[in-house]
Amino acid sequence: MSDYTLSPRDSLDSLRGNSTTSSILSAPDALAPPVAGPRAWEGKELDSSKYVTEFTTKDLEEIKVALIHLTIDQISREAVDKTTFHLSDELATKLAGISKRVHTEEGVEVLRGLQALKITDNQSIMVFVGLCSYIASLRATDSFANQTLSHVRDARNDEVKPGAEGLGLAGSKLPIAMDFHADRFSGDILAMHVRHDGGAGDGGDQYVASAQRIYNELYETEPGVLETMLAPNWPFEIKKNHHEPPVLEMGPVLFLSKGRPIFQIVKAPLVGTPALPRHHTMPDITEKQKHALEVVDELAHRFAAKLERQQGDIQLIHNLSILHARSAYGLASKAQPSKRHLYRLFLRDPENAWEKPQICRENFDDPFTVGRKGEIPVFDTDAYRKISGCESHG
């Protein structure tokens, strides 16, 4: 065990304290017992038959009719939701069931078959947003770029617009490999729509790992690592403005709520990246924290499953109980940017959402602030400055 003294109180009651933009302070909490059930899986136990749902021909016809009505009614992308994207009770029930499975079972779901619609970029975003509104009614909008939908793609050849000189690109805009992580305080469900998979030989394979299985392993073999993760002294670098010094936010990378471990572990704001190096005023992580990152990454690789991907897929990943990663892409042609292009939303379903500990509830709720106007852009026109939540991702 570590040097920290653990409290026997329940996580939700013991994690008290005011969450601010500069710190998240609390004593470490008692370790919850190992997680039982389908959430604690290993890679060999997860195959596509468990998480892929194919749209039927009837479903696709219904989706196409809903899209036509959006066009007739001149509905903007930002206004697409269950009240404007009309689906039958049968299909609505099917999509609601997807949310329940994401929250209670393996934490990974894929909807397949939209590629058959052969629609434009603007239409594909409307369909993506419309279907997601039935899965989870709340969409996150980050306070950094005020974007609700962001684009995951290779932006290295983009024009650097005036005022963006010297700024680096976030990992979502580079074809680099990304380590296992959860997108910190971004949303309960990570939703991605594969507009273009990059083609054969381009790379960008995606992997998922059960954070619950990792928790169980650490509980049995290295509980001190879990205590290190629970300690509220991890030094996160939070970028509030491109031309101002970042803010230091202290907090844990693991939370406990009602016996559920919630992983919010991400390396970029803790150690920096080559494109977005850590600011010289930021403190380094400790040796215990470095060890924890290494151990979690090693276990994630051991327990990971490769996510089966096809063009047109909608991927849904529970961002509280699943870590995700990807391999490098852009391998098919080093002379040209990769065509790989994913749309990304962060979602919350109030009916199935996990309760958050008091210590971090404000941070989890911030992206869902009522009244915050968020953009849903068809094209990514300013990749250097319009980086959705760049301080939170891997």
Cα–Cα distance, 168 to 182 (Å, whole number): 21
Calculate ∠ Cα 378-75-341, nearest 5°.
Answer: 20
The conformation of residue 38, written as its DSSP 8-state character, comes to: T
The verdict on residue 316 lying in a domain is: yes
The sign of the torsion formed by the CA atoms of 204, 64, 93, 133 equals positive
Cα–Cα distance, 121 to 81 (Å, whole number): 18
Do residues 112 and 313 lie in contact, with contact meaning Cβ atoms separated by under 8 Å? yes
Neighbours of 158 (CB within 10 A): 17
- In the block, tokens 């009837």 appear at 58
pLDDT of 10 > 90? The answer is no
The verdict on residue 373 lying in a domain is: no
The verdict on residue 147 lying in a domain is: yes
Cα–Cα distance, 76 to 138 (Å, whole number): 17
The verdict on residue 274 lying in a domain is: yes
Q: Could you list the beta-strand ranges (E) of the chain.
A: 52-54, 108-112, 138-139, 150-153, 178-181, 189-196, 206-210, 234-238, 247-251, 254-257, 260-263, 305-306, 314-318, 322-326, 341-348
Q: What is the pLDDT of residue 4?
A: 29
Burial state string for 229-259 with b = 16 or more CB within 10 A and e = fewer than 16? bbbbbbbbbbbeeeeeebbebebbbbbbbee
Average pLDDT over residues 324-348: 93
Q: What is the pLDDT of residue 160?
A: 86
Do residues 369 and 29 lie in contact, with contact meaning Cβ atoms separated by under 8 Å? no
The verdict on residue 315 lying in a domain is: yes
The conformation of residue 242, written as its DSSP 8-state character, comes to: T
pLDDT of 2 > 90? The answer is no
The verdict on residue 95 lying in a domain is: yes
CATH number, domain of 307, equals 3.60.130.10
What three-state secondary structure class fits 194? strand
Do residues 355 and 258 lie in contact, with contact meaning Cβ atoms separated by under 8 Å? yes
Cα–Cα distance, 203 to 216 (Å, whole number): 31
Model confidence pLDDT, tens digit, residues 183-229: 999 999 999 999 999 998 999 999 999 999 999 999 999 999 999 99
The verdict on residue 377 lying in a domain is: no
The total domain count for the chain is 1
Confidence class for position 301, pLDDT limits 50, 70, 90 = very high
pLDDT of 319 > 50? The answer is yes
Q: What is the pLDDT of residue 11?
A: 37
Q: Is 17 exposed, middle or buried (0-12, 13-18, 19+ CB in 10 A)?
A: middle
Model confidence pLDDT, tens digit, residues 239-296: 876 667 889 999 999 999 999 999 999 999 999 988 888 999 999 999 999 999 999 9
* DSSP bridge partners of 139: 347
Residue 330 belongs to what domain range? 11-368
Average pLDDT, the chain: 89
The sign of the torsion formed by the CA atoms of 374, 378, 383, 387 equals positive
The verdict on residue 389 lying in a domain is: no
pTM here is 0.91
Sorted by sequence, the CB contacts under 8 Å of residue 142 that are 6+ apart come out as 186, 367, 374, 388, 389, 392
What three-state secondary structure class fits 92? helix
- In the block, tokens 């939303």 appear at 345
pLDDT of 102 > 50? The answer is yes
> pLDDT higher for 372 or 144?
372
- Least confident stretch, 90-94, 124-128, 290-294, 372-376: 372-376
DSSP 109-167: EEEE-GGGG---HHHHHHHHHHHHHHH-SEE---TTT-BSSEEEE--TTS---TT-TTP
Model confidence pLDDT, tens digit, residues 121-153: 999 999 999 999 999 999 999 887 889 999 999
Q: Which of 262, 186, 257, 273 is nearest to 229 (CA)?
A: 262
Cα–Cα distance, 171 to 148 (Å, whole number): 18
